[in-house]
Amino acid sequence: MIRFYREGVLKNIVPLILCISIVTSCMYVYSKDFLAVLTLITIIIQATVFSFYTYISGKSMILRFISILGSFFAIGALVSIAVKTGNNQSTVDYFVWFLSPQSLVEFSPAYVAATFIIINFFIASTVYYFSAVRYRISMTFLITLIPFAVYRKETAQVPMFFALLLLVMYMALMIHCRQINTKPRHRMIIEKGYKRSMMVFLASTAFLALVIPKPELDIDNSWVDTVFESQKFTDYMLHRLGIVSETASSSLAYTGNANVKLFEFVTNEEPVNLKSQTYSLYNFDKNLWRTMESETTGVKLSKTDAEILDPAKFYSAVAKAAELDSEWAEKYGLEGIDPELKDSYVRAITLLTTRVNSRFCYSPVLAFSVSVVSSGRGDVFRTDQGMLYSSDSNNPNYSLRYYSDSSLREKNLQTVVNSVNNATFPMFISELLEILSDNGITEYNEVISAYGTDYINAMEYMNETHTEMPESLYNITENVTRKCNSDYEKALAIESYFRMNDFKYSLTYKKPDGYNMEYFLTEGKTGLCSDYATAMVLMARAAGIPARYAEGLHLHDPYSQSTLPAMSGSSGKLPALYISVTDSDLHAFPELYISGYGWKSFEPTQIDEVVSEESSFDYRMSVAMGVIALLIIIFILFFDRRIKPYFSEKIFFHRLKKASDEKSVSMIVSRIRKKLGLAESMTSAETGRYVLETFGTDMSSTVADHDAVVYGGKNVGEGSRAAALEVYNRITELMKEQKKSAKKKVKK
């Protein structure tokens, strides 16, 4: 190990110090408080990288390639783990964080670690190559300017200490590289006077740079600022994700590829779908959704029917009427239902942070109120399809309240919903109002009236969004729903159809030409969440149920318990849960109108299979890369120290057996030279003197035989072959003893 570092460090001490200076100058921007620790770690990393490159420089090309490949795997694994950790902790992704001024983004230890690893590996690799392998003054100069670019991003000047350090070390590197010995037979002798002159020159340069007044320059660098403007990257991300647009994203997938954290929510709800946009107009031939005008404009949110449409209150009205009129209760199968639902199903959700600029509020289907947590959102509007949006897109935090779909898990509410359908609901509403009015009960009139209006709007919506579909789709829907009576039963049957008929979720599935929903339902049976959502909407419409396609987010398990108190709107019964949302949670889902309840989101996509098929670059892949890198490094060390010498020795002796006495003597001398790591240009006499000085072994007779064969063309006897082989075996044993004694010294 000592030899490993000695050869790599002492030979490249000047380039090594330059690398340390560059890395330290850059990391001063990202982690000023921990600069001393980072500098110490930088010294270790740079020394290791230089020693590693020096070590493999004398190896074969294949071994060098495998070694560099293994190092790239190791660096990639470390960086990906750090970036993944940072994505889960920060409100911006690494690319934006790195290019943004640090004063505008939060400090992220994981991102700092990723930057530290990348800069160390890049600087060490490039400086080593352009100083020890191919000397290129222009490239080393550009590398030295990297810290200046980093400080320019921060709109700050490089501290004088770092500027002088970089200047001096760059000049020292030029002097150093000019003295690199590129001819094996030449030896460069550097006298003390030369060293003193070099030190005086560098010190004078630093002093002059420090004392000479600097001119004040007025340069317009505004174009540089636009390169690092965070808003540009935010807009790019929004466009890339296709979160809100007039046409639906056909490539939207439940499992994404980048795992970039987009939002942070606090809620007290079980898994829930949040929509940003709905799409109502579908072109079957093009397999494309578009918005209606009513889905992009709305009215200012106040106490509207959205809040009046309380499933729990409507249920209480039905239960009261069933109690008052037993014949009516028997007609609709409502005998014996409880007077009220067991729990309150008002939920709350708060957006903590977001990196995506959007005027839309991500909201559940039955959201009815929005309150702004921080200023700047402006007025909030609600469309006919339940989207909430503001007149401002500055993305302040907001909190909203809604009625949870989980209320339909109660059998009592299921009984009410299953007692009606779209055909019977108008009569049901009329009779409900009549019974309550006859008994002098008017407290439910507002909610019943709102449900009636909601039903009328849903039927009008169904007529406006009529879709031309092939007969096969109607036949499939008929087979799925033939035993169902209520709209809710039909919706559940359609939702279950995809799970019961070998449908598969796949991110890698290539859709054939002419792909449409008929092919998806009959032959392909493979697609993304957008395909499942589209298919369920079309099947629901074929069954006479108003339905629409929605895109947004899916908040799912596992949730982490938050230290925040229970949120308002939950009656204090449910704890607040913290949820971090990445682009892998982008989702498409259907919303169906259920008579007796209202609009409800469904989940036809096979979520469990989606998670198991996740293809994103996550921790598991990073760990796998790290393991691969470790195995490659172990293989390199084992191959270089055990496998290669073993087989090389076997091959040598195999060739030696077939060689003549003259050829064998020449082969043995060449083998001794190679085994000792001597230059091929060394003569046999020089090799003999080196062996005598190093191991005390006289091989002069073998040298004489070698010269007689090679230069004199003479023949030698079998005794010369045996003598040469004895010398070779003796040197091999002495080399082994030398290695053992060196190991003992290291242990002591």
Q: Tell me what pLDDT residue 154 has.
A: 76
Which pLDDT value is given to residue 9? 75
Q: What is the pLDDT of residue 180?
A: 52
The answer to whether residues 362 and 550 touch, using CB atoms and an 8 Å cutoff, is: no
pLDDT at 212 exceeding the cut of 50: yes
Under a CB-based contact definition with an 8 Å cutoff, are residues 588 and 551 in contact? yes
pLDDT band at 251 (very low <50, low <70, confident <90, very high): very low
Radius of gyration from C-alpha coordinates of the chain: 38
Mean pLDDT value across residues 54-61:
75
Q: 463 pLDDT exceeds 90?
A: yes
Percent of the chain with pLDDT over 70: 76
Tokens of 697: 């072994």
Least confident segment among 151-155, 565-569, 660-664: 565-569
Quote the pLDDT of residue 439: 92
**Per-residue CA distances from 381 to 299, 361, 690 (Å):** 5, 10, 90
At a CB cut-off of 8 Å and minimum separation 6, what does 639 contact?
63
Residue 492's pLDDT band (cuts 50, 70, 90):
very high
Q: Is the pLDDT of residue 462 over 90?
A: yes
Residue 579 has pLDDT above 90, yes or no: no
Element (H, E) at 655: helix 644-658
The 10s digit of each residue's pLDDT in 29-53 is 888 888 899 999 999 998 888 888 8
Dump pLDDT digits (tens) for 699-734: 888 889 888 888 888 888 778 888 888 888 888 888
pLDDT at 302 > cutoff 60: yes
> Which pLDDT tens digit goes with each residue over 525-534?
888 888 999 9
Select the highest-mean-pLDDT range: 12-21, 73-82, 93-102: 12-21
pLDDT tens for each residue of 607-625? 554 444 444 445 566 666 6
Assign 394 a pLDDT band (cuts: 50, 70, 90): low
- Give the tens place of pLDDT for each residue, 146-203: 888 888 777 777 887 888 888 888 877 877 776 554 444 445 445 566 567 667 766 7
Ranking 265-274, 429-438, 738-747 by mean pLDDT, the lowest is 738-747
Residue 343 has pLDDT above 90, yes or no: no
Within 8 A by CB and 6+ apart from 105, the residues are: 90, 92, 96, 97, 230
Identity (one letter) of the amino acid at 264?
E
More confident residue, 220 or 537: 537
Residue 546 has pLDDT above 80, yes or no: yes
Average pLDDT of 621-631? 68
Number of other CB atoms surrounding residue 309 within 10 Å: 20
Tell me the pLDDT band of 652, cut-offs 50, 70 and 90.
confident
* 245 vs 114: CA distance, rounded Å: 34
Residue 395's closest CA among 243, 511, 607? 243
Amino acid at 481: T
pLDDT of residue 23: 92
Residue spans of beta strands (DSSP E) within 145-286: 261-267, 272-279, 281-283
45-59, 576-590, 599-613, 686-700: range with lowest mean pLDDT? 599-613
pLDDT computed for residue 626 by the predictor: 66
CA 566 to CA 576: how far, in whole Å?
5
Q: What is the pLDDT of residues 670-692, one digit of tens each?
A: 888 888 878 777 888 888 888 88
Ranking 56-70, 76-90, 229-243 by mean pLDDT, the lowest is 229-243
Q: Between residues 56 and 305, which one has the greater pLDDT?
A: 56
Average pLDDT, the chain: 79
Q: Band of the pLDDT at 438, cuts 50, 70, 90?
A: very high
